[in-house]
Structure formats: C-alpha cells, structure tokens
Amino acid sequence: SDIMTVKAFENAIMVHAAIAGSSNSLLHLPAIAHELGIQLPPELFDEIHRKIPFLLNIRPSGFWPGEYFWYAGGVPAIMEEIREFLHLDVPTVTGNTLGENLDELKQNGFYERCRKYLPALGVKVSDIIKPAGSPIKAQGAIAILKGNLAPEGAVVKHAAISPKLMQATLKARVFDCEEEALQAVLTKHIHPGEAVFIRYEGPKGSGMPEMFYTTEAIASDPELIETIALITDGRFSGATRGPAIGHVSPEASEGGPIALVEDGDLIRIDIPARRLDITGVAGIPKSPEEMEAVLAERRGRWTKPAPRFNTGILSIFTRNSVSPMKGAYMEDTRHG
C-alpha cells in the first residue's frame, strides 16, 4: 500500500494509454485498487487516455511483433517519451523513486543492451516507439462511452477500429450468448451495417468470459471488419482487433438496456463524442423521448433469466460480482 498509491495507478494508466493496452485494464486495475481502498472510476481512464499519445507500433494495434517492444527499450522507453506527464516522485520496489529508476537505466546501459538487436533487423527505435511529438494517434487507445444503451458506461479500444466506424449508425442483431453469435458470423448470416450484440455474458450473467472467437471471426472477414460492430456486456482479449465495444453496463442480467435491445433497433456509435445510444426501432429513427418510452415498455416485459451457474466458484462469483465498470470484483457480503 505504500507503493500502490493513486499516483502509481495513474502512472499505470498513462503507460497503458501510450502502448494501446487491453480493455481488460478497466477490470484489473480498479479491482486491484479496490483491495487498497482506492477507487479508479472509468472517467479517470478516459481523461488520461485523452491526454496521453498512443506511441507503440506493436501488434495487434500496430505493425511489429511483440518482442520488438523490448528491442526498442520496453516500458522504460515508453515512460521516457511520456515522462513530462508521469508522477516521477512515486516510490517503487527498488527503494528509489520512479524518476531515479529511469535515470539509472539511462546510465547503466540498459537501452544499449536492448537496442543492439535492431540493426540486424533493419528497424529503428522510432519505427517501434514513436516520439511523443509525432505519435501514432494524439490520444490513447481507450474511450469510455455512455448513453441510453450504457448508462454506467462501456469500453472501446478505438486504436484498433477503422475510422469508418468511429461514428456510425448500425442495425442491431441480438444474441444471448457468444456461441450463437459466432455461428452467425461464420455462416455469413451477419451483414455489413449491423451491430452484433452478445449479452448475458457479464460478471453476473456468465462470469464475464472474453469474446475472443467472435472478435477474431469478424476481424478475419474483410467484408465485416470495417462495416459492423460487436457490442457486449462481456470482455475482450488484449489481442482483440476490430470494432469491439465491451463491458456495457448495467449488464443484461441486471436488466440493463442491453437486455432490451431487439433485432432491427438502430444503434448510434459516436466515439469522439463518447456516446453509445439506441436511436430507433425496426430501422426507423426515434426521438430520445420516444426511445425512452419504447425501452420503458420493453423493461416492463423483461424477466430476469435463471442463474447460469448454481454450484461451484462461478455460482459464488456471479452472485457477488459488481458492475464491469467498477472492476467486476466480488463484493464482500459478510456482515459483522
């Protein structure tokens, strides 16, 4: 707790922004912070990602293989590029501050030892880690979206999304588990201009597995990767490519609006404005007031599904887990 302070977590989020890290950080970091009595709201991630440039040209968001990151100097080299933003006075496990650690690495030959492999590969450091003054993108990889589809928020790794989908209106195709959605993608039953929904895969629904196979199937289909989006209350892998919006909260099992979406609904994605909304029914646009009335009527018909797990650790987790936007950790429900 002496080392894992608010400033240290903010440093971690800054590095995460610069390397276009996984959306899973919105689960891991808040859950770890919770154990220390620290809150990391999703808005903090969005705020930091807006100011920290995306620098790392490594797959899946970039070009080079993962090991090239180390050849370029690894995390310390990223920290040097964003040094002006970091809290350099935080204590670390070495007994020195972060700033002192970074200075020592420059003095002890660390970067030279890493970078001696680059000439044989024909690659420069700046090919792998872009200078902060000429980044891949001016903002980090993650955005937090809110709207009538995700009142508590949703997470998108926009660094891996086509510019064509940064602002788009799509038609909903709804599936209540990943297996059904994957089958639809593989059998060509998903078409350009659709928003594929996978719901009841949040923490309380199924333990929040990653939607890896469906995202890979979409990313591998040249007709779909720039024309559809995947929207889910589940999560994604760090290897995720393409148009994936996850952690939609409240989740379907809690009766969140994602549980009320029907085939043919119009879904508006506006990443620059940080919005995710249901804007129409059966392909017909509706006003916000009309849409709210539709959702209220659907909410009256919705019934909470039976628990998917009744024994074992997943039954304990699904009963006690909190919202994905809080970190999906288990609440301590003991009293006294």
Structure tokens at 329: 């950790």
Whole-number Å distance between alpha carbons of 147 and 117: 48
Q: Are 213 and 228 in contact (CB under 8 A)?
A: no
DSSP 233: S
287 is annotated as an active-site residue: no
Residues near 118 by beta carbon (within 8 Å), at least 6 away in sequence: 71, 72, 124, 125
Pair of tokens at residue 315: 């039954």
Q: Write down the residue that tokens 């006294």 correspond to.
A: 336
Catalytic choice (126, 162, 220, 237): 237
> Cα–Cα distances in Å, from 70 out to 12, 66, 232, 313?
18, 8, 33, 37
Cβ atoms of 201 and 233 within 8 Å: the answer is yes
Q: What span, in angstroms and rounded, lies between the C-alpha atoms of 220 and 218?
A: 5
Specify the DSSP element, H or E, that contains 252: none
Catalytic residue list: 237
